[in-house]
């Protein structure tokens, strides 16, 4: 039996807006689940239903086999960190961290030990006597995380907890949160719109769009086996290149290049898709500059190059179609020159032009 069980959960707000549709998910104890998707896709709404801050319009949510739809936030044994972390402004960092334990009547000595330990993990030891207003945004966010982890809750919810940090702090906090997760073994649901955060932190990712789950899977799975055009384009930076076109004589036009789809589709599929739209996709790093066997050869023109150190992003014009490929920094091509590149068949993805689902 799964630890958290979402059964056909729907959320319809009082104004009639249907924010979450038929959300189904089973989460095992100790998993680190990330909900990811663009703004407004229903991530926070779903998280708030888990927390008990938002009622569930339809469906059932179970924790450890018990239906909790009707339970208030306090009864669910959940700790939360939100984007807008409300610290108590008149209390020191120490008291902010200690607050929930003090309320529970925990022994002063035990509180002291726990506060000091959490402060050490989060690098807050020098600031324990300060008031929140005398901290940077990043330090305040650490206090908010600390306040949640100190309770050793079984379930830990985080809604964009790193949004106020700069890029470097974010990377550090990512690994700190993972370390804490390893130590506490708490089941975690983490909400972000940042696919890199999702890829680097999650044991499984739930990709959402407009209130619907698009795909659930490990970071590896989502990257290499995307279920549809949306997931393929959302995960990965720069995103996957897409070429949309009508299938004609078993080929797809990519600029003036003709992509022979018989390398990817069966005879029956080719027949089925003749005259219909198909989306051809390949990742920037899935292209090669040197000739390889079993690959599409494509003629292009180099518009722009971006040297990033570990690789170069090459912006290409393929007779009016744009693409980006990543190449080795030592192979940086000249701008405004012609260039052939190769996409091994195994690196090419095909999607149905209408449903946008991957064609297997
Ligand atoms: P973000 O990344 O911007 O926080 P999100 O994916 O977390 O986005 P939600 O906050 O869950 O999105 O909102 C989902 C949809 O529900 C949005 O279109 C939002 O406008 C709508 N919504 C949120 N709260 C309410 C409400 N109280 N009443 C009506 N609609 C709401």
14/327 Cα distance (integer angstroms): 51
Is the pLDDT confidence value at 194 over 80? yes
Average pLDDT over residues 221-225: 97
| Residue positions counted in the chain | 360
154 CA to centre of ligand 1 in angstroms: 26
318/279 Cα distance (integer angstroms): 16
Per DSSP, the three-state class of 270 is helix
pLDDT of residue 83: 66
Tell me if the bond preceding 284 is cis, omega within 30° of 0.
no
39 CA to centre of ligand 1 in angstroms: 8
Average pLDDT over residues 310-335: 94
| CATH number, position 117 | 3.40.50.300
* Residue whose pair of structure tokens reads 């960190």 in the numeric block: 81
Question: How many structural domains comprise the chain?
Answer: 2
Q: Are strands 155-159 and 78-81 parallel, antiparallel or unpaired?
A: parallel
pLDDT tens sequence across 122-147? 889 999 999 999 998 778 888 988 88
User: Are 261 and 182 contained in the same domain?
Assistant: no
240/219 Cα distance (integer angstroms): 15
User: Are 246 and 229 contained in the same domain?
Assistant: no
Which DSSP symbol is given to 186?
A: -
Is the pLDDT confidence value at 218 over 90? yes
- Who's near 312: CB < 8 A, 6+ residues apart? 305, 306, 326, 327, 328, 329, 331, 332
Residues with CB under 6 A from ligand 1: 13, 15, 17, 19, 37, 39-45, 193
Is the pLDDT confidence value at 85 over 70? no
User: Are 107 and 224 contained in the same domain?
Assistant: yes
Give domain status of residue 122, yes or no: yes
> In this structure, is the dihedral angle defined by the CA atoms of residues 168, 171, 174 and 180, taken in order, positive or negative?
negative
190 CA to centre of ligand 1 in angstroms: 16
Among 28-42, 124-138, 153-167, 238-252, the minimum mean pLDDT is found in 153-167
Q: Which residue has the higher pLDDT, 136 or 84?
A: 136
Residue-averaged pLDDT of the chain = 93
Per DSSP, the three-state class of 69 is coil
153/79 Cα distance (integer angstroms): 6
pLDDT of residue 90: 95
69/50 Cα distance (integer angstroms): 9
User: Are 280 and 171 contained in the same domain?
Assistant: no
For residue 43, give its domain range: 4-234
């Amino acid at each position: 039996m799964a630890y958290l069980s979402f059964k056909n959960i729907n959320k319809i707000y009082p104004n009639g807006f249907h924010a979450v549709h038929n959300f189904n998910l089973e989460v095992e104890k100790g998993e680190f689940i990330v909900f990811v998707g663009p703004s407004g896709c229903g991530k926070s709404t779903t998280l708030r239903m888990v927390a008990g801050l938002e009622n569930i319009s339809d469906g059932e949510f179970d924790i450890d086999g018990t239906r909790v739809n009707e339970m208030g936030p306090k009864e669910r044994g959940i700790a939360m960190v939100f984007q807008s972390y409300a610290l108590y402004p008149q209390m020191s960092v120490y008291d902010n961290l200690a607050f929930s334990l003090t309320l529970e009547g925990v022994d002063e000595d035990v509180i002291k030990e726990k506060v000091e330990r959490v402060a050490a993990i989060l690098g807050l030891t020098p600031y324990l006597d300060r008031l929140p207003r005398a901290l940077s945004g990043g330090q305040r966010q650490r206090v908010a995380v600390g306040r949640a982890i100190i309770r050793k809750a079984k379930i830990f919810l985080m809604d964009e907890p790193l949004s106020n940090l700069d890029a470097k702090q974010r990377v550090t906090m990512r690994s700190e949160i993972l370390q804490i997760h390893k130590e506490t073994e708490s089941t975690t649901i983490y909400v972000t719109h940042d696919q890199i955060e999702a890829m680097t932190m999650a044991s499984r990712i739930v990709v959402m769009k407009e209130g619907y789950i698009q795909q659930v899977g490990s970071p590896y799975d989502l990257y290499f086996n995307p279920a549809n055009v949306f997931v393929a384009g959302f995960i990965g930076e720069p995103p996957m290149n897409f070429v949309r076109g009508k299938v004609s004589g078993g080929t797809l036009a990519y600029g003036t290049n003709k992509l022979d789809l018989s390398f990817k589709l069966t005879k029956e599929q080719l027949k089925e898709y003749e005259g219909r739209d198909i989306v051809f996709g390949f990742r920037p790093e899935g292209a090669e500059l040197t000739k390889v066997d079993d690959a599409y050869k494509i003629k292009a023109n180099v518009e722009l190059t971006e040297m990033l150190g570990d690789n170069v992003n090459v912006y290409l014009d393929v007779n009016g179609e744009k693409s980006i490929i990543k190449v080795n920094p030592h192979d940086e091509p000249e701008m405004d020159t012609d260039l052939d590149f190769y996409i091994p068949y195994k690196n090419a993805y095909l999607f149905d032009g209408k449903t946008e689902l991957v064609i297997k």
